[in-house]
Structure 1
Amino acid sequence: MNAITRFITAARTSWIVLVVGIAATAGLFVAAGYQSADSAPPVGLPDSAESVQAAELAEQFADEGATSAFLIFGRESGELTDDDIAAITERTVELADISLEGFVPPPTVSEDGTTALVVLPLEVEDRVSVQAERADEIRALAVDGLPDGVQVWFTGAEGFAVDFAAVFEGANFLLLGITALVVALLLIITYRSPILWIVPLAVVGVADFIAGIAARLVADAAGITLDGSVTGILSVLVFGAGTNYALLLIARYRDELRLNLDRRVAMAIALRGAGPAIIASGSTVALALATLLFGELSGNRSLGLAGAAGIVVAMAYALLVLPAALVVFGRWLFWPLVPRYGSADKVSRSPWGKLGRAVSKRPVMVAIVGFVVLGAMASGLATVTVGLSQNDRFIVKPEAVIGQERLAAAFSAGSSAPATVIASADTAEEVVEGILDIDGVSEATIGAQNDDIASISVILDADPESEEAFALIRDLRLALDDLGDGQALVGGNDAAALDQRDAQARDQNLVIPLVLVLVLLVLIVLLRALLAPLLLLIAVVASFFSAVGIGSVLFTTVFGFPGIDTTVLLFSFIFLVALGVDYSIFLVTRAKEEVPTLGTSEGMIRALAATGGVITSAGILLAAVFAVLGVLPLIALTQVGVIVCIGVLIDTLLVRTVIVPALTFIAKDRFWWPRRPELTDAEAAARGANGQAERMPDELPETDTREKEPVGA
């Protein structure tokens, strides 16, 4: 470790580190290039899902790779006239050239005469840019020549795919721009320097750029597709985590500049002190994200792989490139608040140290009150509703949702997304009769069939992807076990959405315990203790439940969201537990350094005083970065951003500041059980009475200055 830190910080070799870092960055860019995500999000279900099996069998009756778009025609009010219907029919002729079959069926008019539906068969296209271009062409042809007052909405599977992709059009640049601006402002406020913030922001910005390339290369090698939502979250992760690591390192570097005349010696000491905490923190986050690779849904696996790769890149740049970049410049980089050698010990006057001293006087009461507050915040969990329909996933209703709602109002609720039952051809008639006996089924008709199987279209009396629709799919599957040969399969959009929600629940039940075990193991290895890791894990999990409770209340009362998306709880848990425990790692590892000199209680107070400012700044910055996800009009990302933002603030301002120190003061030396600290609290008190506890700069021997450097250099 000493050899590495010397190589990174030494006058002759720090330049080598910078040059190699720049060359590696440029080389990776030239070799791999930068590509924005141009793939639609995959469905993500495993082959074992019933809806996937049904879709594979249904391919026997349709052209492989076929999809469809719905064009909904109607007036703002009133019925369509005969001239309107004739004009709409003429539009189907014009659209035939785009149709997969070279033909578009005539419009179907609702019973009330207000709405006409045109189903347009299309070839599946995975590239979102091509999808968007085709959708624009379809819209232009559909509206051309329509009578005044007749409107058209592009919806269906293709319409939702296009509108979902439009959410992320330019999203990377928007997120990157706002995130960089937020980080820059907070760094300027934190350092109160017009210069210093440029270095960490530049390093983290390059790390984010390279993380995107690295994530794509790793994903391509693993056969995983990255879409716009994954790359957007990746940027937020890299900027948030990378800036946190930079804040911790620079804060330690600034402290050491006060104690060492040579800035390179100061950086080497700071790197040895902060490095293990940064490595433990980054490893915790990367491993927690990697647990998503055990999930069933490909969307979860893609986020896990990309996120883990991005965190490793951020950690590497923070530990290798940033120290070399900082020592190239002199102390003037901190101007106007340049840390002078031998200046007063600001840590001893820190308000965080005073807070720690106050907590140490009544730690039991403080811990009880702290957990009561967390419990009160978590009470909002009683209002949590998990699950959003396809129509409810957008903050601002796009065209596809408006068209879907118009279709559902004019036709049977489930006519826009009928279920598909694949049954044996010999028992198809019996299966249809049994299906029609199920309450909530409006219609069931036999469609295409061959010698082996038949496709049965089932229209449900429920809105697509609603709880009523899911209940009917379950009833349908249960009834089919006793109909025909008992081998019939249920597919379609509602069945796929239900299978996806169930798979998400299974992923959640698997990944969450894995994350808890991994975080606990990392803490045990880092602290070489058992009790301290358990206490830290309990505290950070409590902050997660508190954040979800507050978030749920906000979503219902302020945002007006109908529920929480199925992916939100899992992603929020991983981000909060992995990132939230970082601050406890930073605090406790610093306390562990102080124990041999000050003992457990005084060591914790000193650690809180030393890290309180930087951890608070890091927490506020990370919370603000995740809040940036709210700029995208997608409810799931807004909810993740809000919950993580709230959770990080709770963890930073309450858990790490009050609850963790209180638990430490209660446990005293037992906090490090079963490993006995080098110095007990009683011994530390005795040593402090002899005037040996405080480490003031004027007490340091001159030999600590190492290589001489002019003050302010």
Structure 2
Amino acid sequence: MKQRHPGTARVPFWLRWLVPVLLVITWLAIAGVGGPTFGRLDEVSSNDQASFLPSGAEATEAQNWQAKFRDSDEIPAVIVLESGSAFTPAQLGEAAVLKGKLEEVQAGSAVIGPIPSEDGKAVQFVVPISSSGEVKEIVQELRDEVQASAPEGMKRFVTGPAGLTADLVSAFAGIDGILLLVALAAVFVILLIVYRSLLLPIAVLFTSVFALCAAILLVFGMAKLGWIQLSGQSQGILSILVIGAATDYALLYVARFREALTHTTNRTAAVLTAWKASFEPILASGATVIIALLCLLFSDLNSNKALGPVAAAGILCSLFAALTLLPALMALLGRAAFWPFRPKLVPETEREPQLVNGLEGQKGLWRGTGSLVSRRPRTVWVASVLLLLVASAGILQLKANGVPQTDVILTASNAVDGQDALARHFDAGSGSPVVIVADGAKAEDVLAETKATGGVGGAYLLADGAVPIISGSQAAPGTPAAPGVRDGKVLINATLNYAADSGDAENVVVKLRENVKAVDDGALVGGVTATALDTNTTAQRDLVVIIPIVLAVIMAILMLLLRSVLAPVLLVASVVLSYAAAMGVSALVFNNILGFAGADATVPLFGFVFLVALGVDYNIFLMSRVREESLKHGTRPGILRGLGVTGGVITSAGVVLAATFAALGVIPIMFLVQLAFIVAFGVLLDTVLVRSLLVPALSYDLGRRIWWPGKLSKQEPDAAVQLDAGTPEPEPEPEAAGRR
């Protein structure tokens, strides 16, 4: 049979075999080095919330002053022993013996306690732990010792900042294994259903996994050099983002490769044709996401700032894997990749039907969707917009002002239970005091103002080397009259009546800052509660600053890609509306179904960056193909043609990405569970409603004006007969009814 494809000419050996083999070997080498590095990410990772604040935050400045008053950077572990009745003298004696054993665990570090509660039913110890050490391991040693040595019949808890940090690290432990396995299994099952082939899903998964290995190697190197600050949450997001993005790009390439195989028997020519056709949309998509993620560098929160380059590195590796490794694998496998349903060569007479309205050659779901869009375009896009607006109303119920640290961990936690026990018997803020840095000459006045502030249970000045972190209801024996002084400054500890990670405690800190600054305008208020407060405030500032930057960047890229102004504006508006709808539905689910106390202040920003960037991805895939078809057939037929040929692949990509992000839900951390739902639901909403109905219908309604002010907007009306809104679709000719 005569083939018109130029790729039927003999392809040189080096291009047919040598280049693909070398590319596969190169990626195998990268995976061989990057794979083992996956288990070493903990070496360069930190979950210390205070380290994520900007240097100019008040809590950060207070922490820097604290360091001048002590030799090491310590965080307290609070040990609570709770009984159903008052402690007997014998039990108090056993608790006193426990103090020495705790000091042995801490290599002689001073342990404060046992401090009995007013009701006599609990005692607490405060054990300073160096935050530069392995906090999780030290806390576990303390728990083992308390379990073995505490008086019989007592409930035993190791809590406080150190205990909560240890349990948080334990909750993140699943990122290294379970998360990856769940994500890969979900992707594999979806690809099996989509392609009904065994080899192709394996090739796509290899592409994704090798991209992840390269990303891990790159991120580990950047963290080791101190260029970025890696955290547990950014590790989890990196894995999911790389697998999802690499699979999406692979699906787009595979669709073009399969299409090319219907035009030629030469697999190398098909690989090159598919590469040329998919290069621009994949590159534009990847560049959009990378630049959008790098906009996080404008964040004041170091955790947000770090996620930008971490995630961008992942997308970059996904991009390279999809454009190098996957084509190499397809060049080696050829049609066998699709076994047992190999694509067949389509006779030349069936390849390019004379389009009447863009629906010729289509069948099934996407023919029906295209028919609906062409018959009632205005009804379809107006109804879609109204539906999204209704869903968006729920965003008013979104509570993204931060949540107590005890609510962050969604599984059983000894530290969380310990905080509850602490609140039952001591001042709720015991173990995590507010720290006030004041001028030495005004120390007594600041101390008096601190004690007079509502919500403060007790306050005292600190002497040199003293770390008397005790309940405000307990007197500090021998409290020094002469406080420690550094560069004219003194430290004051204030114990709050509320749990340190609660909203009530944050309100007290706000009031405390106002009161002490009225006495000493240079005073600083820091500590665990102040750190959480400043983190939430900074996150809300980031939301206002970064969103406009991301939108401007995405708009510019779309204008360059589509050679239009109007189309990018409408595409970005549709994605923003989709984001608002996703957040609105998510707020209702979080509040009324899952019963979450609120959301981390960074959730709206991360949700926006991922949903807008990834949502624009699918519009890029669609509209780049629409533009290609419009150049050949006219705008309205091109829209229907582009919708039909990309419908299956984009929907599959959306389902894959939603499934991979949903895998984040296996990590019992509220932030990740919320992000998983927001992105998974938002991607499905964008794929099914926005990209399938809203954008095509709006574009069809506008016709060639969608390309304004580009050349396509000025072209003559389509040579083919177009269907006006409301005009019945002509029946296909009998001889065309059986065409593919």
Q: Normalising to structure 2: TM-score of the pair? A: 0.88
Residue 123 of structure 2: SS of its match in structure 1?
strand
Change (3 A) 1:624 1:537: same
Aligned equivalent of 2:559 = 524
The 8 Å contact of residues 289 and 304 in structure 1, kept in 2 or not, is answered as yes
How far did residue 177 of structure 1 move?
0.8
Q: Determine if contact 2:31/2:213 at 8 Å carries over to the other structure.
A: no
Distance 1:441 1:609 in 2: 65
1:169 is matched with 173
Pair 1:82 & 2:89 matched: yes
Q: Is 2:441 the partner of 1:431?
A: no
Give me the whole-angstrom Cα distance separating, in 1, the residues matched to 2:541 and 2:106.
Answer: 39
| 1:65 correspondence with 2:73 | yes
* Partner residue, 1:41: 47
Q: Does 1:352 align with 2:366?
A: yes
Aligned to 1:210: 214
Q: CA deviation at 1:138?
A: 1.4
Query: Which shows bigger deviation, 561-570 or 453-462?
Result: 453-462
Distance 2:737 2:247 in 1: 29
TM-aligned CA deviation for residue 207 of structure 1:
1.1
Name the residue aligned to 1:241.
245
Q: Which amino acid aligns with 1:40?
A: S
Aligned mate of 1:603, from 630, 634, 638: 638
Per-residue CA deviations over 1:180-231 (Å, capped at 9, x if unaligned) read: 1111100000001132211111121111111111122233345323233212
Q: Secondary structure at the match of 2:286?
A: helix
Deviations 1:639-696 (A, max 9, x none): 000000110010000000000011101211110000121754443328999x9x9xx9
**Identity percentage of aligned residues:** 34
User: Within 2, Cα distance between the matches of 1:29 and 1:342?
Assistant: 38
**Pairwise mapping of residues 48-59 of structure 1 onto structure 2 (< 5 A)?**
48-59=56-67
Superposition pairs of residues 238-637 of structure 1, within 5 angstroms: 238-342=242-346, 347-386=361-400, 387-448=402-463, 449-450=484-485, 452-484=488-520, 486-637=521-672
Instruction: Verify the 8 A CA contact 1:14 1:324 in the aligned structure 2.
Output: no
C-alpha separation between the residues in 1 aligned to 2:298 and 2:581? Answer: 27
Question: Secondary structure at 2:158's aligned position in 1?
Answer: strand
Distance in structure 2 (CA, Å) of the matches to 1:610 and 1:529 = 22
How far, CA to CA, are the matches of 2:82 and 2:425 in structure 1? 10
Task: Tell me how far 1:464 sits from its aligned partner.
Answer: 1.9
CA deviation after TM superposition for structure 1 residue 322, in Å: 0.4
CA deviation vs aligned residue, 1:20-52 (integer Å, no higher than 9, x gap): 334434554677761432233243112111111
- For residue 261 of structure 1, give the secondary structure of its aligned residue in structure 2: coil
8 Å contact kept, 1:84–1:150: no
Query: Structure 1 residue 68: deviation in Å?
Result: 2.1
Distance 1:524-1:220 versus aligned 2 partners, 3 A rule = farther
Q: State whether residues 258 and 697 of structure 1, in contact with CA within 8 Å, keep that contact through their aligned partners in structure 2.
A: no
Superposed displacement of residue 502, structure 1: 1.2
Matched-pair contact (CA < 8 Å) for 1:615–1:652: yes
SS at match of 1:684: coil
Provide the C-alpha distance between the structure 1 equivalents of 2:285 and 2:737, rounded to a whole number of angstroms: 30
Q: Bigger shift: 174-183 or 292-301?
A: 292-301
* Separation in 1, partners of 2:570, 2:12: 40
Shift of residue 333 of structure 1?
A: 2.2
> Which range moves more in the overlay, 559-568 or 356-365?
356-365
Letter in 2 for 1:41: N
Alpha-carbon spacing, 1:565–1:211, altered in 2? closer, same or farther (3 Å): same
Give the aligned residue type for 1:103: A
**Given that residues 259 and 697 in structure 1 are in contact (C-alpha distance below 8 angstroms), is that contact kept between their aligned partners in structure 2?**
no
After superposing the two structures, state which structure 1 stretch, 58-67 or 279-288, moved more: 58-67
Deviation at 1:106, TM superposition (A): 2.6
The secondary structure found in structure 2 opposite 1:208 is helix
1:546 to partner: Cα distance? 0.6
Say if 1:408 and 1:573 are closer, same or farther in 2 by CA, change over 3 A.
same
Contact 1:532–1:672, Cα closer than 8 Å, also in 2: yes
Structure 2 vs 1, CA of residues 134 and 359 (structure 1 numbering), >3 Å: closer, same or farther? same
Q: Structure 1 residues 107 and 680, CA, compared in 2 at 3 Å: closer, same or farther?
A: farther
Provide the C-alpha distance between the structure 2 equivalents of 1:45 and 1:462, rounded to a whole number of angstroms. 23
Q: Of 225, 229, 239, which aligns to 2:233?
A: 229
CA distance in 1, matches of 2:179, 2:142: 30
Q: CA RMSD in A?
A: 2.8
Q: CA deviation at 1:10?
A: 6.5
Aligned positions of 1:86-97 closer than 5 A: 86-97=93-104
CA offset at residue 93 of structure 1? Answer: 0.7
Deviations 1:375-416 (A, max 9, x none): 111121122111211111111241111111111121112223
The answer to whether 1:105 aligns with 2:108 is no
Aligned length: 689
**Alpha-carbon distance in structure 2 between the residues aligned to 1:680 and 1:255:** 29
The DSSP-based 3-state class of the residue aligned with 2:125 is strand
- Residues 417, 629 of structure 1: CA spacing in aligned structure 2 closer, same or farther, 3 A cutoff? same
C-alpha distance in 2, partners of 1:430/1:100?
38
For residues 565 and 682 of structure 2, the distance between their equivalents in structure 1, rounded to whole angstroms, comes to 25
Give secondary structure in 1 for the equivalent of 2:173. Answer: coil
What is the CA-CA distance between 1:248 and the residue it aligns to? 0.9
Residue 186 and residue 680 in structure 1: after superposition, are their counterparts in 2 closer, same or farther (change >3 A)? farther
Structure 2's unaligned 5+ residue stretches are: 1-6, 352-359, 464-483
Separation in 2, partners of 1:681, 1:623 = 39
Task: Give the whole-Å Cα distance in 1 for the aligned partners of 2:452 and 2:108.
Answer: 35
Give, in whole Å, the separation in 1 of the partners of 2:711 and 2:320.
33
Q: Which residue of 2 aligns with 1:139?
A: 143
Instruction: Point out the more displaced range, 300-309 or 164-173.
Output: 164-173
CA shift, 1:268, in A, is 1.7
* 1:183-202 alignment runs, 5 A limit: 183-202=187-206
Deviation at 1:263, TM superposition (A): 2.3
Structure 1 residue 99: Cα displacement: 3.0
Q: Which residue of 2 aligns with 1:709?
A: none
> Per-residue deviation at 1:238?
0.5
CA 1:17–1:511 in structure 2 vs 1: closer, same or farther (change >3 Å)? farther
TM-score (norm 1): 0.92
| Preserved contact between residue 76 and residue 161 of structure 2 (Cα < 8 Å) | yes
Q: Specify which of 11, 15, 34 is matched with residue 13 of structure 1.
A: 15
| Structure 1 contact 629–641 (Cα < 8 Å) conserved | yes
- Which residue of the partner structure matches residue 179 of structure 1? 183
- Displacement of 1:505 after TM fit? 1.5
CA distance in 2 between counterparts of 1:374 and 1:348 reads 29
- Tell me which moved more, 494-503 or 355-364: 355-364
**Which 10-residue stretch deviates more, 576-585 or 427-436?**
427-436
Deviates more, 1:30-39 or 1:252-261: 30-39
| Whole-angstrom CA distance in 2 between matches of 1:31 and 1:362 | 55
Give the partner amino acid of 2:46.
A
Q: What letter corresponds to residue 473 of structure 1 in structure 2?
A: V
| 1:329 alignment partner, SS class | helix
Alignment check: 8 A CA contact 1:171 1:232 kept: yes
Q: 1:412 to 1:687 in 2, by over 3 A?
A: closer
The answer to whether the Cα contact below 8 Å between 1:219 and 1:306 also exists between their aligned partners in 2 is no
The DSSP-based 3-state class of the residue aligned with 1:330 is helix
Gaps of 5+ in 1: 701-713
SS in 2 for 1:442: strand
Q: CA deviation at 1:472?
A: 1.5
Deviation string, structure 1 residues 602-646 (Cα, Å, up to 9, x no partner): 100001110111111111111111000000100000000000011
Aligned to 1:710: none
Deviations along 1:397-452, one digit per CA (max 9) or x if unpaired, are 41111111111121112223221111111111111222233222222222222262
